[in-house]
């Protein structure tokens, strides 16, 4: 009986050892598989990193070439615009100088007939005996001159009898007003004032009633 129990116990121990050995072998195999899988993952990751690095290094020269091309194009465009603007400045400067030099050309040309009339009047006055005819001739020349200047925008000021205005008149002196209604007004006009296109080009020199 005792011997049977001892045999059973021994068989049980052997079975337990076999189970433990099998379990240990399985654990070792699983560990080996895990190590192999990890090594495979590492190899894959390393290969991926190397590929990414190679692609990045290959892309950098292409990006630099593209940037250089864009920079050259922008620089060329800037130089063209600068040259065009420089030509524009020179052209406008030349036109401005020419305009200043010929600004009065039109007026002078229109006044030449008046100058001719004065020359003819002077010649006629040398042998003239009729003063009335000379006066009429001079008056005609004056009216012609006024008409030309008026067509160019010139306008006489109507100062006498008007209220004194410092924007239009230049007071030479003050005198007692002949009547109460002329106080603070222009009593006499010593020199006519003129407007050109409604802007004062010469103040009227006046005497103001006080």
> Is 171 part of a structural domain of the chain?
yes
Give the Cβ contact number of residue 134 at 10 Å.
14
Give the pLDDT confidence score for residue 14 in this predicted structure: 54
The two tokens of residue 10 are 């021994």
DSSP codes of every residue in 152-172: TTEEE---TTSBP-TTTEEEE
Q: What is the percentage of the chain residues whose pLDDT exceeds 70?
A: 71
DSSP 180: G
Mean pLDDT of the chain: 78
The radius of gyration of the chain from alpha carbons, rounded to an integer in Å, stands at: 57
Distance CA(59)–CA(68), nearest Å, equals 14
pLDDT tens digit string along 151-183? 888 899 988 888 898 899 999 988 888 888 888
Residue 183 inside a domain? The answer is: yes
* 195 inside domain: yes
Which H helix or E strand runs over 195? strand 194-196
Tens-digit pLDDT profile for residues 130-157: 778 888 888 898 999 999 999 888 899 9
Q: What is the pLDDT of residue 26?
A: 60
Domain count, the chain: 1
Among candidates 115, 125, 114, which has minimal Cα distance to 147? Answer: 114
Average pLDDT over residues 79-90: 89
Tokens found for residue 125: 């006055």
Q: Is 161 a member of any domain? A: yes
| Residue 23, pLDDT above cutoff 80 | no
Residue 57 has pLDDT above 70, yes or no: no
* Mean pLDDT in residue range 21-45: 59
**pLDDT at residue number 120:** 86
**What average pLDDT does range 106-121 have in this prediction?**
86
Q: Is pLDDT at 11 greater than 60 in this prediction?
A: no
* 52 in a structural domain: no
- Confidence band (pLDDT; 50, 70, 90) for 31? low
Range name among 9-18, 96-105, 110-119 with the lowest pLDDT average: 9-18
Q: By residue range, what is the domain housing residue 196?
A: 155-210
- Is residue 204 one of the residues assigned to a domain? yes
Please state, in angstroms and rounded to a whole number, the distance separating the CA atoms of residues 189 and 204.
Answer: 7
Q: Provide the token pair at 198.
A: 């409604």
Residue 209 within a domain:
yes
The residue-averaged pLDDT of 114-139 equals: 83
What is the CATH classification number for the domain harbouring 206? 2.30.22.10
DSSP designation for 188? E
Asked if residue 5 is part of any domain, the answer here is no
Q: Pick the more confident residue, 102 or 118.
A: 118
CA angle 178, 183, 186 (to 5 degrees): 85
Percent of the chain with pLDDT over 90: 7
């Amino acid at each position: 009986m005792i011997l049977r129990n001892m045999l059973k116990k021994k068989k049980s121990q052997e079975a337990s050892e076999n189970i433990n050995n099998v379990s240990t072998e399985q654990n070792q195999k699983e560990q080996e598989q895990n190590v192999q899988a990890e090594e495979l993952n590492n190899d894959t990751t390393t290969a991926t990193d190397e590929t990414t690095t190679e692609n990045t290094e290959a892309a950098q020269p292409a990006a630099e070439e593209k940037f250089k091309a864009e920079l050259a194009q922008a620089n060329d465009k800037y130089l063209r615009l600068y040259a065009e603007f420089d030509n524009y400045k020179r052209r406008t400067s030349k036109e401005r100088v020419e305009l200043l030099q010929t600004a009065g050309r039109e007026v002078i040309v229109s006044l030449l007939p008046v100058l001719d009339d004065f020359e003819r009047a002077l010649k006629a006055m040398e042998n003239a005996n009729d003063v009335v005819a000379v006066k009429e001739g001079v008056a005609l020349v004056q009216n012609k001159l006024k008409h030309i200047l008026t067509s160019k925008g010139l306008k006489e000021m109507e100062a006498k009898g008007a209220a004194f205005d410092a924007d239009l008149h230049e007071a030479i002196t003050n005198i007692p007003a002949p009547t109460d209604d002329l106080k603070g007004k222009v009593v006499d006009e010593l020199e006519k004032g003129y407007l050109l296109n409604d802007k004062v080009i010469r103040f009227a020199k006046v005497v103001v009633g006080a």
